[in-house]
Structure 1
Amino acid sequence: MTYHPPFGQADLSNCERELIHLAGSVQPHGALLVLRPSDLQVLQASANTAAVLGLPVERLLERPLQVLGGDLAAQVAALAPRVARPQDEPVPLQCTSAADGMPRVLEGSLHRVPDGQLVVEVEAVELPDSARHMATIGQEAVLACVSATVQRLSAAASLGALADAAVQGIHELTGYDRVMVYQFDPDGHGKIIAEARDPRLESLLGHHYPATDIPQRARALYLRNRVRVLMDVHYQPAPLVPARLPPTGQELDMSMCYLRSMSPLHLQYLKNMGVTATLVVSLVHEGRLWGLIAAHHYQPRNLRYAVRTACDLLAEVIATRIAAIENYAHAQVALVVRRLEQRLIEATSTEGDWRLALLRNPATLLQPLGATGAALFHDGEVLTSGEVPSTPELRALARWVDSRPAAAAPQATTDAPPLACSSIAQAEPALASLTPVAAGVLAVRLSASQPDYLMWFRKEQLLTVTWAGDPHKPKVGDDPMELSPRRSFAAWSEIVRGTALPWTATEIALARAFGSALVDIIVQVHAVRLLIAERQLVQIRGTVQNSREPVAIADAHGRLLHANEAFRRLLAPDGRTLHTLDDVAAGFRPPQALHDMLRGLKAAHQPWRGELALQGTAGGPPRPVGVRAEIVPARDGSALGLILTLTDLVDSQRAAEARRQLEASLQRTAAEGAAQPVGADEVMRAILSNASLVAMDIADGPVGPDMAPLLQEVEASTQRAATLYGRIRLFGVAGDAG
């Protein structure tokens, strides 16, 4: 049974499993109350309520929230319906209390825990102890900074420019001594890709941090709780009283508590770095933790709720720009692959073998991925381009690749993600002899039933990696009481041998697109062979029949030689037979549309691509399909026949609907913003302008099942950004910019 150490009892061997969400205490600059929903009776509270709220914890327990005076109880009662479920996002709380006769202005949040109780977290923002370390930033300065930063983020055309704009904006907004953007690689290691800092501080730009610096449980909490502030690393925690929540006797789940105490290991980590206060903002893209904005300060520092919300808003804008930038890269990938696909189709019809055309020009295959060699494993043959290992070594590599879990699974298909490995020798020491020529490999599967692959290779390249401290020495000394996460944070460099440059996300996407194109080409090649040699029909028909792409083949007279199952399901869901292209045309709406296309195709002798509509089922609306028609020429220039390939465009409709919904949402948000004071227009215009630019970038990319969810994500993110902006105005911060 796996041991999960309680909060505060973990060491470096098991900190990955520490129950950090069961901290049982809070940072003392705020107070926490757990309430029974039915009557708002206080069931549990942090021990520091006397300092924050003016009433000792023993006089609060088992008493109604009203004993604190002011409008705290009334505000909680009014907001409770907005957090009806534990998964609902905490709602902001702005209220007053007056338990000891001294009115206090409070701000914080309200949420519900899985057991159903309400959790209130508040800070008394005007108490001397609280205000002493509070960053004083005026509302006008906050709004101006947010507006300017959103505009800079919207103009960023690359991830590097985006990260630079992000750190500059957060640095100006919060005033922390150092602001960094960490980006996580597929293995969870972090790299600082942008930095804004006090010029007196040494730069950490480009430093790497091992994945173990942020345990998986902490990463999961970063996905849920997007903004975390540590005011003073030397704080004394305020424990919860009682330690377990009545009447269940369970520890309080503090996953969504922004005052939650931090792990002693993490606090020691920060002390070793000399850091006193921190701000961490999650960068979430496609439901995963893409990276973090981390800010360090070397004196105690706290932020008002409005400023934290502004940081959250900027993170949402950054996430939408990441989506747009990555989608643009994928669109460029699609263009490269489209050109390659056309060349291979032409080579197939004229030379009869697409494989030679693929490998004939090394630059076409190698340069887009920065590879030094490539190998194609197809139909039992090995064909190569560039610098590659010997054929026996290549076959041994192919056996290892095919034995990997994703490739060896019974349900393995060509949809499986590519294998990207920057060090074959580390992954499989038996293949270390490949290192000089093929230290790294990127492999895509081309067949669901055969060990067919396209692989790219990179030579060994000595890498100098700069870590923030020696990653191989996490523990200093043998005394468990002196446990210390990576005591030295001086820059520590290591020369990494036996590796190639890591494959980037864009290169992996390009490889996957190459593989998908080749899978489609292979299907079409088999379709051409059906026209050339009917004696091979039995063997080739199976390949075409099992293709996910709807494909039909007709001879020069319009007789249908073959239509695979995917094609029949789309054209004849009622089971009617398809013998000729006239039968196929009957499935279109109107049928004449296909006839007109075929007539023009024969006249021009050029491939035709376009969009037509199929008859709807059961009287339903037409079903849009993409149509690709290719004339297959004989060696004497006549036409052997044609290949008709269909693509279901329902995803396009969904994307269009998502785009319309997004535009309608932006119009509504713009209309609501027009009703605000004149000063609000600039920020709202910036938010809406960014959303529009992102929508255009996404819509310019290839249409697929991911486009509608991306547009919906932009809509939700923009709506949330508008809500966060409203909160900034609600929680106006008095004072001058600082």
Structure 2
Amino acid sequence: MNEALASPPFGEATLSNCERELIHLAGSIQPHGVLLTLAEPALTIVQASSNIVCLSGRPLMALLGQSAAQLGGNLLAKVRAALVADLSEPAPLRCSIDGANGRVAMEGTLHRAPHGGLVVELELAQQDADTAYNRRYESAKPVTQAAIAQAVKKFSSAPTIAFLSEAVVHCVRETTGYDRVMVYKFDPDGHGEIIAEARDGSLDSLLGHHYPATDIPQRARELYIRNRVRVLVDVHYEPVAIVPRQLQDGSELDMSLCHLRSMSPLHLQYLKNMGVTGTLVVSLVREGKLWGLIACHHYSPRYVPYTSRAALELLAEVISTRIAAIENYVQSQVEVLVKRLELRLIEATSTDGDWRNALFRNSRTLLTPVDATGAALFHDGEIMTAGDVPSTPDLRALLAWVSAQPGEGGVYTCASVVRRNPEFASMASTASGVMAVPLSPSRPDWLMWFRKEQPCEYTWAGDPAKPLLNSDDPLTLSPRRSFAAWSEIVRGTAAPWTRAEEVLAKAIGQSLSDIILQIQAVRLLIAQHQLNLVRSQVGNSKDPVIIAASAGHILYSNETFQRLPGSPAATLTTLDDLGGLFLEPGEVRAMLKRLQQERLPWRGEAGLVTSGTAPLPIGIRADVVPGQGSSILGFIVILSDLTVHRQTESARQHFETTILQAERDLAALEGGSQLREPDEVIGAILANANVAAMEIADAIGDGGAVPLLRELETSTQRAAALYRRLRRYASGSGER
């Protein structure tokens, strides 16, 4: 939608749409200065505030379209000299013009508007302002260099935000003379709190008062970042129109950087309802965001010269730098705590094997630094806790919810989970507040801290629940008619997490992430070493090995398998393909299928088809590799060449046949007559031969058993023959 249609023009907003009011297109200025818009390169006047007539004594229409030289003095020369500078931000400008009563010294700024054109804003210089403005306005004295130096020293020595804020309000009040000076700090939700105040003794204190985020619309907050110092001299001023309001291309002048820009009628009425007449607001910007404001209130008109405003802008930069330094000091303290934590966790990992135990062994070391009442670690699908925490189902629900929330800067904080998600109302007693940091970019690993419900009493400047009156007249509209202190007890909330605690949480989370990464890297190295070792062992195995995934796809086959005669290893993709290598493919495939479906191990034998005439006898051992729970990692199939085994068995059978025959031969001696009693010697010879044969066959798995069995057979036969000869000799029937 076009913003011009979606947003109300300046001065036509109601409280329901003031967030979208086009306050940067005000089309008018405050009357304590004049504004000119000059077109380049001729520097002709294309717009002017209507009060230029009173200052210059020349008719407005006589100036439009003419060179800035028509105003006399050295204005044109000073503007041309300033063009060499970067004018994307207002640059100071001192010049003179020919006024109605003679030459007048002016001071102000010059900047280039976002859509083209040079904007010149001028006010009477101080020497002329003493006689001109002081008739109508109280005027602050210029800030001296000595005062600036003294203020910088005070700010630089402030050890905390509280000390700094106190120094700021007193220094600014002393140098500007405003009735009330406050430091107004924003919380993460955009609400403001007055954290420091210096005031006239006759005024009631506003210290500690809270103001709802709606008091300062988002568009105004954006302008506070771009234009760091804003002055309202008199809330009852009559706006001075810019003529013509529209430029030649039909657009209006973007006055975002104009210090004379008129303020919204809603804001003016807001100040009138507070009884405030003059204001000075200085922005405190931290890391590109509006950290807070120095808000000055006066109860009569008050003018601040340009030099004093420039000095305050300088001091605001010093203050913002000091805020950063204080918070960075917190960061340095955080680094000390985190280093100690890291050492403890690393030591625990090396001794216990698990860093998580060290993290939760002493819960105080985890909870106390961030003032938490409970903590939970979500890691590898497990939950470890310390202190008071919700139930496990609630923790898992909270994890799912936090994981879906937009985080900022690597940490998520919430002081009232119930307000953001009413479904978590039951957790208020243990987890009203949550601060969480992610530990992994790819897994739901988080570290969370919790705070119990802590009912708080907030003092608001008026009842924030009653923002509207029954009227759309900007002169009667007001966020609050009454700014009397209004207290509210807030439940379902915990103490807000501070910036320092967020920094510490982020640092702890980053440290844990690094430790987890380090541990995983070590595990990866160990696993890689083990993998290389196992791969080497499997690869060098004398037996063919095939490894398949749980779905049956072959992942690996070793070189021994690839050297099997007739084994096309390169074409095998599944265990089912493996069955096709054998003489009985149907039987092998059926058993491998049973292995996958029923997860039953298989031991069998099959003939491997070769290029020769006879198949190769193969022993098959197929097993399931179990995973966690009921899952499986895959399958392993080990093949063995049974050729030597078959030869050994054949040799053993031949040996047994030979021994049996020897027993028969020795059963009858001397013409086949039967011995009446077993012969002890021949029995011992045959028994010894049987034992030796079994030992040889069992102990020697390669082809070496076959010749040994043959040798044993020959030796046994010779021993039996020698014994027969000896028996014959002893009986007298053999040789003498």
Give the TM-score taking structure 2 as reference length. 0.69
For 2:353, give the aligned amino acid.
Answer: G
Q: Is the 8 A contact 1:30 1:121 kept in 2?
A: yes
C-alpha deviation, 1:277, in angstroms:
0.5
Over residues 429-461 of structure 1, what are the superposed CA-to-partner deviations in whole Å (9 max), with x where a residue is unaligned?
111101111111111111222211111110000
Q: Is the 8 A contact 2:141 2:304 kept in 1?
A: no
Q: Is the 8 A contact 1:133 1:302 kept in 2?
A: no
Partner of 2:468: 475
Q: 1:428 aligns with which of 421, 428, 432?
A: 421
For 1:463, give the aligned amino acid.
Answer: C
Query: Which secondary structure does the structure 2 equivalent of 1:98 belong to?
Result: strand
- What does 1:35-114 correspond to in 2, within 5 Å? 35-83=38-86, 88-114=88-114
- The 3 A distance-change label for structure 1 pair 67 and 525 is closer
Please give the alpha-carbon distance, in whole angstroms, between the structure 2 residues aligned to 1:138 and 1:424. 50
Partner of 1:188: 190
Over residues 32-76 of structure 1, what are the superposed CA-to-partner deviations in whole Å (9 max), with x where a residue is unaligned?
111122222211111111223333323322222222222222222
C-alpha deviation, 1:485, in angstroms:
2.4
Q: Is the 8 A contact 2:139 2:303 kept in 1?
A: no
- What does 1:487-636 correspond to in 2, within 5 Å? 487-529=481-523
List gaps (5 residues or longer) in structure 2.
533-736
Q: Is the 8 A contact 1:475 1:487 kept in 2?
A: no
- What does 1:292-691 correspond to in 2, within 5 Å? 292-405=293-406, 417-480=410-473, 482-529=476-523
C-alpha deviation, 1:131, in angstroms:
2.8
Partner of 1:149: 151
Please give the alpha-carbon distance, in whole angstroms, between the structure 1 residues aligned to 2:261 and 2:525. 70
Query: Which secondary structure does the structure 1 equivalent of 2:55 belong to?
Result: helix
Please give the alpha-carbon distance, in whole angstroms, between the structure 2 residues aligned to 1:187 and 1:257. 28
Please give the alpha-carbon distance, in whole angstroms, between the structure 2 residues aligned to 1:26 and 1:402. 48
Q: Is the 8 A contact 2:138 2:301 kept in 1?
A: no
- What does 1:716-727 correspond to in 2, within 5 Å? none
Please give the alpha-carbon distance, in whole angstroms, between the structure 2 residues aligned to 1:300 and 1:66. 34
For 2:488, give the aligned amino acid.
Answer: E
Please give the alpha-carbon distance, in whole angstroms, between the structure 2 residues aligned to 1:362 and 1:129. 69
Q: Is the 8 A contact 1:182 1:291 kept in 2?
A: yes
Q: 2:237 aligns with which of 227, 235, 238?
A: 235
Return the index of the structure with the highest Cα Rg: 2
C-alpha deviation, 1:99, in angstroms:
3.8
Please give the alpha-carbon distance, in whole angstroms, between the structure 2 residues aligned to 1:109 and 1:421. 43
Please give the alpha-carbon distance, in whole angstroms, between the structure 1 residues aligned to 2:80 and 2:300. 37
Query: Which secondary structure does the structure 1 equivalent of 2:337 belong to?
Result: helix
C-alpha deviation, 1:319, in angstroms:
1.4
For 2:427, give the aligned amino acid.
Answer: L
Q: Is the 8 A contact 2:375 2:386 kept in 1?
A: yes
For 1:282, give the aligned amino acid.
Answer: S
Q: Is the 8 A contact 1:106 1:122 kept in 2?
A: yes
Partner of 1:17: 20
Partner of 2:213: 211
Over residues 440-495 of structure 1, what are the superposed CA-to-partner deviations in whole Å (9 max), with x where a residue is unaligned?
11111112222111111100000011111111111122454532222211111110
For 2:227, give the aligned amino acid.
Answer: N
C-alpha deviation, 1:497, in angstroms:
0.2
Query: Which secondary structure does the structure 2 equivalent of 1:97 belong to?
Result: strand
For 1:226, give the aligned amino acid.
Answer: R
Give the TM-score taking structure 1 as reference length. 0.69
C-alpha deviation, 1:134, in angstroms:
5.3
List gaps (5 residues or longer) in structure 1.
407-414, 539-738
Q: Is the 8 A contact 1:470 1:492 kept in 2?
A: yes
C-alpha deviation, 1:172, in angstroms:
0.8
Residue 123 (str. 1) matches residue 126 (str. 2): no
The CA RMSD over aligned residues, in Å, is: 2.0
For 2:439, give the aligned amino acid.
Answer: L
C-alpha deviation, 1:352, in angstroms:
1.3
- The 3 A distance-change label for structure 1 pair 96 and 356 is same
Please give the alpha-carbon distance, in whole angstroms, between the structure 1 residues aligned to 2:472 and 2:139. 43
Residue 32 (str. 1) matches residue 58 (str. 2): no
Q: 2:222 aligns with which of 214, 220, 223?
A: 220
Q: Is the 8 A contact 1:134 1:304 kept in 2?
A: no
Please give the alpha-carbon distance, in whole angstroms, between the structure 2 residues aligned to 1:477 and 1:138. 43
Partner of 1:287: 288
User: RCO higher in 1 or 2 (8 Å CA, sep ≥ 6)?
Assistant: 1
C-alpha deviation, 1:536, in angstroms:
7.8
